[in-house]
Structure 1
Amino acid sequence: MAPHADPVTSSSPTSSTSSYSISDTQLLYINGKYQPSSDGATFPVTNPMTGETIYHSASASLDDYYTAIESAHIAFQTWSKTSPSARRKIFLKAADIMESYIKSPAPELMSQEVSATMHWVRVNVFATAGLFRETASLATHIRGEIIPADREGTTLMVERTAVGVVFGISPWNAPINLTARAVAVPLICGNTVVLKPSEYTPKSQDLVVRALTEAGLPEGCLQFLPTGRERTPEVTEYAVKHAKVLRVNFTGGDRVGRIIAGWAAECLKQCVLELGGKAPVIVFEDADLDDAVEAVVFGGLAFSGQVCMSTERVFVHRSVIGEFKEKLLKRLEGLKTGNHLEEKGVSISGLFSPVSAERVMDLVKQAVDNGAKLLVGDLKISGPRKTIIAPHILEHVSSGMDIAHQETFGPVMILYEFETDEEAVVNANDSDFSLCASVFSKNTLRALDVARQVRAGACHVNGPTIYVESTLPNGGTGGSSGYGRFGGIAGVEEFTERKIISLANKPGMKFVF
């Protein structure tokens, strides 16, 4: 690097959590400044467990989105030319800053906004710090190639170049980690990002902005636009279709993902969509059943099942299903369900909204009413606002029941029996979702063969369906799980363009036409 002060790394911090209060109004972050919405609009953010308003957030208007996109477009002209080392330094520093949030304010924010237990807070904070460090390592791996040319006196190069402005939408369920994922690789590639967070968790998601800003990310590179529910459809369509937005990424439900994909298709715009899941686990007769049960319980019930990779369907070989059920029920006895705000040692707390809890329980009750058997569960919703659901395990679920095909996004799993490997694969693939899966067997080659046949973006052998590292090409294989890839070099490919540059170095070339 040149000996002069780099304008990227020398920029002063513009945000800090030193005087942070959860009750303060959450502001928009546009062109390096926290500010209210252009028309002063706000919306309340409530505690799902108590229903009380925690704070108010500014609600971005169309004018705010216009300003943010223009600002990001201008910042791109400079940011895209910064050195890899300058970008890397920012992300490494941001990782250290993010880790400091484990003391405050991350635990209070996530507990208040989404009823997160301390385990889930740690997952978010430390996984995000790891993601920042892995992303920093990509700075010098954005590589092109030189291709032999048939034309005499010509050199052909294919470079990976930044796209421009990226519009990202990140969800509430892993608010810190998935926000970082939405912005990190686009930024390290030299793009700028306009981010719309969930209306449920703007302050948790703002921690990503604060960490990157304090680490030295220049003004305009990252815009943060919380938006109230009423305005969300209008501003989202506007941003997706804006001529200066050249990539879109969205993590969330398949219903909204299809809408966003439709808008992007109208203007032939590329998207990365990680949507829902209904992850299957296949347990063969030679599996270590203790390990399989542990993985199924973690995969199905972590964060009350509110993870796109959550285990929802468990296929167990007929010869061991009795023993598997016995071990599963015993393992569930050690889990505590309750109000994490009032009780210690809670593993499963409330869902993110009463409406979500009602939807989950309706699916379970409909299945039971139509002949499914309830192995575990009381068919009740508890808690101050009826958001807490204990684990529910079902069997004898038929293909005609809604719960067999819809993503529950709650602490619910279905047990099935199978006899042959082929039957297990067919049943596991009987879903429009294709995000994650797992296979359990002591015969590694057998498990590998089956894993290759299961239609999923990731299939884990002898491990839970919830497993992700930031270097991996994470995403579904189409259908209701979406398309495109986050993470590692695959993410670089999504958020850069291949650009052909030809160099003609033979004077006096003649062209026949």
Structure 2
Amino acid sequence: MSPHAEITSNDGTTSGRVSTLSQPQLLFIDGKYIPGSDNATFPVKNPMTGSILYDCASASKADYETAIENAHSAYQTWSRTGPSARRRIFLKAADIMESYITGDAPEFMSQEVSATMHWIKVNVFATAGLFRETASLATHIRGEIVPADRPGTTIFVERQAVGVVFAIAPWNAPINLTARAIAVPLLCGNTVVLKPSEFSPKSQDLAIRALAAAGLPQGCVNVLPTSAERTPEVTEFAVKHPKILRVNFTGSDRVGRIIAGWAATCLKQCVLELGGKAPVVVFEDANIDDAVEAVVFGALAFSGQVCMSTERVILHKSISQEFKEKLLKKVETIKTGNHLEDSTVTISGLFTSAHAARVLGLVKSAVDGGAKLLTGDLQATGPRGTIIRPHILQDVSSNMDIAHVETFGPVILLSEFETDEEAVASANNSDFSLCGSVFSRDTLRALDISKRLRLGACHINGPSLYVESTLPQGGTGGGSGYGRFGGMAGVDAFTEKKIITIARPGLKFALEHHA
């Protein structure tokens, strides 16, 4: 029985709000919440206070084997389910998901990942939208009829589900990125084994609860939270398992490279959305106020802990000073603090104190190397040192670590250019290739520049932090990974093209010698 049963009605909506945060979180295998096979657990802590929120079951390799076998069995029937039945499940799940905004979502995300109410709403409503958009794809998974040179032959190319997909979803947008990892694979007829982050199992479970309550059959999605200590061995086990036929991962480029290496040993396809260091190019004719607003939003939403976050702002020299002055003035209005004590806070704590120390270490190293700190106090505050004010740097040289690694925090690097070629070269001077923006009133010029930037997505006169679930999301290699989530690109990623030919009865086949 689900540990949430006492507060969840038949349609999955929450009634009679009773907090379940302190209850243990279990594995979800074959439609049931169960402890791990060896009863191992790990504590999930509030990153702001360090207090233990609950104990979570830690899956072993034996649990992964069980889950994969259950998913493989469920695939045999789910893959033959009609599109209308799948569509109904996702549409119902969207309505259920929206109800969680007055249910468990605010408490779970606030406590697990220090999310402010703005970020919680983004997760809940974007996930509901993702479920609806995914539902709309149900009858668009189409093949084709191909003309045959051979007489008496008809050729079909059909799109078929792959089988069992292994998915790993991160903590930073826990509900939305969990839904993205499983939704299109499921709609295509695959089944999924999901490993959520050890930092946010309950938040991520909300996407699973919504689908289960909407009628997703048992075994179609199986969820195995795992302690940090066990994660490497169970992940390698799952990636290399012969019944896992696709892998998708959203997370750091460091881990993505490891997963890609494991998958390569068994020639297994992956979709990897990894790191980012989004550039924003601001030309001399740009609307400066609009560009400042977009940079502040793109860089500081959820404290910069998003792969699409703006990290580099490349300014035309003629407007550089005006932009800096307006940016600093705008950043001064951003309220930083403890969201547990003040609900009006915009920037709260980072996801661990160790990560906060890493971010500050990068900034301090740059300052020691000669970079100029325009704003920021080089301090981490809060009960466990996770809260960092926005930091803005200029004069960052290419030999500084912060120029190349993903900061994943509230940090903005400013630089200048004079020619279009310099702007393009500066924006492309990164191993990351996920997204970025260009600001100019000359739309055709901006369009031309956007085509020259090595990015999976480029937004003209808008923030780098922008995505819709129908868009093909992903980088163009390097530290941002490869493959695409979203819309028909996701259908391509999680289906195979299968050739089926029909020969007319009595057709004669002969070996012929061709000179």
TM-score of the superposed pair, with normalisation by structure 1: 0.97
Between 1:81-90 and 1:326-335, the stretch displaced more is: 326-335
Structure 2 portions without partners, runs of 5+: 1-8
1:468 aligned partner, one-letter code: V
Map 1:38-53; keep pairs closer than 5 Å: 38-53=37-52
The amino acid that maps onto 2:227 is: G
CA contact (8 A) 1:59 1:226 kept: yes
How far apart are the structure 1 equivalents of 2:332 and 2:508?
Answer: 80
Shift of 1:17: 5.0
CA distance, structure 2, for counterparts of residue 415 and residue 17 of structure 1: 46
Alignment of 1:339-378 (within 5 A): 339-378=338-377
Contact preservation (8 Å) 1:277, 1:310: yes
Asked if 1:217 corresponds to 2:216, the answer is yes
- 2:487 partner amino acid: G
Which residue of the partner structure matches residue 271 of structure 1? Answer: 270
Aligned counterparts, 1:24-423, within 5 A:
24-423=23-422
Partner of 1:8: none
SS at match of 2:192: strand
Contact 2:12 2:96 in 1 (8 A): no
What SS class does the counterpart of residue 439 from structure 1 fall into?
strand
Partner-residue secondary structure (3-state), 1:319 = helix
Q: Give 1:13 deviation, angstroms.
A: 6.1
Distance verdict in 2 for CA 1:358–1:374, change over 3 Å: same
Q: Output the CA distance in 1 between the equivalents of 2:139 and 2:94.
A: 18
Task: For residue 137 of structure 2, give the secondary structure of its aligned residue in structure 1.
Answer: helix
CA shift digits 1:44-99 (9 cap, x unpaired):
00000000000110000111000000000000000000000000000000000000
Asked whether the 8 Å contact 1:350–1:388 carries over to 2, the reply is yes
CA RMSD of aligned residues (A): 1.1
Is the 8 Å Cα contact of residues 13 and 96 (structure 2) preserved in structure 1? no
Q: Is the 8 A contact 1:16 1:210 kept in 2?
A: no
What's the CA shift for 1:508?
Answer: 3.6
Q: State the shift of 1:16 in Å.
A: 7.0
Distance 1:238 1:454 in 2: 38
CA shift at 1:510, angstroms? 2.5
Q: 2:167, 2:318 → 1: CA distance?
A: 47
Tell me if the contact between 2:440 and 2:461 (Cα under 8 Å) persists in the aligned partners: yes
Deviations 1:280-315 (A, max 9, x none): 000000000000000000000000000000000000
The superposition leaves residues 145-167 of structure 1 with CA deviations (integer Å, 9 ceiling, x where unpaired) of 11100000001110100000000
2 CA distance for matches of 1:442 and 1:102? 39
Determine if contact 2:13/2:99 at 8 Å carries over to the other structure.
no
Conserved? CA contact 2:300–2:347, under 8 Å: yes
Matches for 1:414-453 after TM superposition, within 5 Å: 414-453=413-452
| Structure 1 contact 436–459 (Cα < 8 Å) conserved | yes
1:161-180 CA distance string (max 9 Å, x none): 00000000000000000000
Q: Which amino acid aligns with 1:231?
A: R
Distance (Å, rounded) in 2 between the aligned partners of 1:490 and 1:344: 38
Q: Which amino acid aligns with 2:411?
A: V
| Amino acid in the other structure paired with 1:271 | C
1: distance between equivalents of 2:13 and 2:129? 21
Q: Secondary structure at the match of 1:140?
A: coil
Instruction: State the match for 1:459 in structure 2.
Output: 458
CA distance in 2 between partners of 1:508 and 1:203 (Å):
60
Pair 1:349–1:365, CA change in 2 (3 A): same
Aligned mates of 2:190, 2:415 — CA distance in 1: 46
CA distance in 1, matches of 2:179, 2:343: 30
Matched, 1:487 2:486: yes
CA pair 491-443 structure 1, distance change in 2 beyond 3 A: same
Q: Is the 8 A contact 2:278 2:311 kept in 1?
A: yes
CA distance in 1, matches of 2:507, 2:185: 42
Distance change >3 Å, CA 16–CA 39, structure 1 → 2: farther
Q: Do the aligned partners of 1:13 and 1:215 also contact (CA within 8 Å) in 2?
A: no
Alignment partners' CA distance in 2, 1:206 and 1:375: 41
CA distance in 2, matches of 1:418, 1:69: 53
Contact persistence 2:312–2:412 (CA under 8 A): yes
- TM-score between the two structures when normalised by the length of structure 2: 0.96
Determine the C-alpha separation between the residues in 2 that align with 1:259 and 1:213: 32
Q: In the TM superposition, what whole-angstrom CA distance separates every residue of 1:221-256 from its partner, at most 9, and x where no partner exists?
A: 000000001110010000000000000000000000
Partner of 2:501: 502
TM-aligned CA distance change 1:103 to 1:14, over 3 Å: closer
For residue 3 of structure 2, what is the aligned residue in structure 1? none
Deviation at 1:135, TM superposition (A): 0.1
Q: Would you say the 8 A contact 1:14–1:213 is kept in 2?
A: no
Local SS of the residue matching 2:109: helix
Q: Give, in angstroms, the shift of residue 20 of structure 1.
A: 5.3
Q: Which moved more, 1:282-291 or 1:498-507?
A: 498-507
CA distance in 1, matches of 2:31, 2:177: 22
Inter-partner Cα distance in structure 2 for 1:343 and 1:470? 32
Q: Percent identity?
A: 73
| 1:359-407 CA distance string (max 9 Å, x none) | 0000000000000000010010100000000000000000000000000
Q: How many residues get paired?
A: 502
Query: AA paired with 2:276?
Result: G
Structure 1 segments unaligned to the other structure (5+ residues): 1-11
Secondary structure (helix, strand or coil) at the match of 1:217 reads: coil
Does the 8 Å contact 2:117/2:343 carry over to 1?
no
SS of corresponding position for 2:279: strand
Measured in 2, the distance between the counterparts of 1:37 and 1:15 equals: 25
Is the 1:13–1:213 Cα contact (8 Å) retained in structure 2? no
